[in-house]
Amino acid sequence: MKIETIASLNEVGVQDLAGKTVIVIDVLRASSCIVTALAGGCREVVPVETVGQAKQAFEEGSLLGGERSCRKIPGFDLGNSPLEYLKETVKDKRIIMTTTNGTKAVQKALKAENVLIGSMLNGTACIRAALQLKKDIVLICAGTQHVFSLEDGLCAGFLLDEADKIEGARQMEIDDLGLALLYGYKQAKSDLTQAFHRCANGRRLHKLGFRQDVFFCCQQNLYLTVPIWREGRLIELLS
């Protein structure tokens, strides 16, 4: 089985996603919000690209979530902090969500056979589910404004490390970027908090007052929930 890794959103498309399982990784913070919401019993997350589309998709029992420049959108119920997406708020709700990068990453991934959402919070469950789908896997690190983000890369390394453990390294063909991130993750894993606070998004969120989000999003395997794309929305994949 092959696992490719793509460094940032603008490199998607050169690759052929058809027939493959894509895992979209946008750790700070869209992926982490989606995983947290579905783990908290939210019915479905509908990713849309624009604020207008989000408002149009709104109906009774929905919550509007998302950000622009890391901040909650005026008039929306929720921003882009996973701590806003906990059970007491999201249970049985439908969430319509628009974020700068994460939503676009999901849209770009839709050429794949399966689209899953990965984060530190659900890493082991996510790669395990992807391996069970028995297709070649593409890890899309969403990055930030077309540039590679460390936290997404470390998450890719985490997923590759877990895949190595499950499948055995000899069964897997990992590309060079994946190998670099696998090495990087193994080095950083003993202190992910430090790594997450040293990278560009960690520092930016810290400055904007979202320090708790950074701490939250670097936790590994808090949830077993795996979001999967089905007919226009993300729902929990039941194993």
Interface with its own copies, residue 28, by CB under 8 A: no
Name the β-bridge partners of 137.
3, 21
Q: Which residues contact 210 (CB under 8 A, 6 or more apart)?
A: 29, 70, 81
CB 8 within 8 A of CB 147: yes
Shortest Å, Cβ 152 to its own copies: 9
User: 40 and 173 in contact (C-beta within 8 Å)?
Assistant: no
Residue 96 within binding range of its own copies, rule CB under 8 A: no
Q: Does residue 31 bind its own copies (CB under 8 A)?
A: no
Select the residue interacting with its own copies from 76, 85, 185, 229 (CB under 8 A). Answer: 185
- Residue 154 engages its own copies in binding (rule: CB under 8 A): yes
Query: Which DSSP helix (H) or strand (E) runs through 180?
Result: helix 176-188
How far is it, in rounded angstroms, from Cα 225 to Cα 37? 10
Among 200, 215, 219, 224, binds its own copies (CB under 8 A): 200
Considering the complex, state which of residue 87 and residue 198 has its C-beta at the smaller distance from its own copies. Answer: 198
Which CB, 91 or 203, lies closer to its own copies? 203
Pick 39 or 150: Cβ nearer its own copies? 150
Q: Is 181 in the site for its own copies (CB under 8 A)?
A: yes
Applying CB under 8 A, which part among 52-60, 88-96, 106-114, 177-185 lies near its own copies? 177-185
Cα gap 145→206, rounded to integer Å: 18
Residue 174 CB, nearest distance to its own copies (Å)?
A: 9
Q: Report angle CA 200, 28, 112 to the nearest 5 degrees.
A: 115
Tell me which H or E stretch contains 186. Answer: helix 176-188
Residues shown for the chain:
239
Q: Quick one: residue 144, left, alpha or beta (phi over 0 = left, psi -120 to 50 = alpha)?
A: beta
Stretch that binds its own copies, among 34-42, 61-69, 113-121, 186-194 (CB under 8 A): 186-194
Whose Cβ is closer to its own copies: residue 5's or residue 114's?
5
Minimum distance from residue 190 beta carbon to its own copies (Å): 11
- How many Å apart are CA 16 and CA 20, to the nearest integer? 8
Q: Which of 145, 171, 187, 212 binds its own copies (CB under 8 A)?
A: 187
User: How far apart, in whole angstroms, are the C-alpha atoms of residue 28 and residue 101?
Assistant: 10
Catalog residues that contact its own copies under the rule CB under 8 A.
7, 147-150, 153-154, 175-177, 179-181, 183-188, 195, 198-200
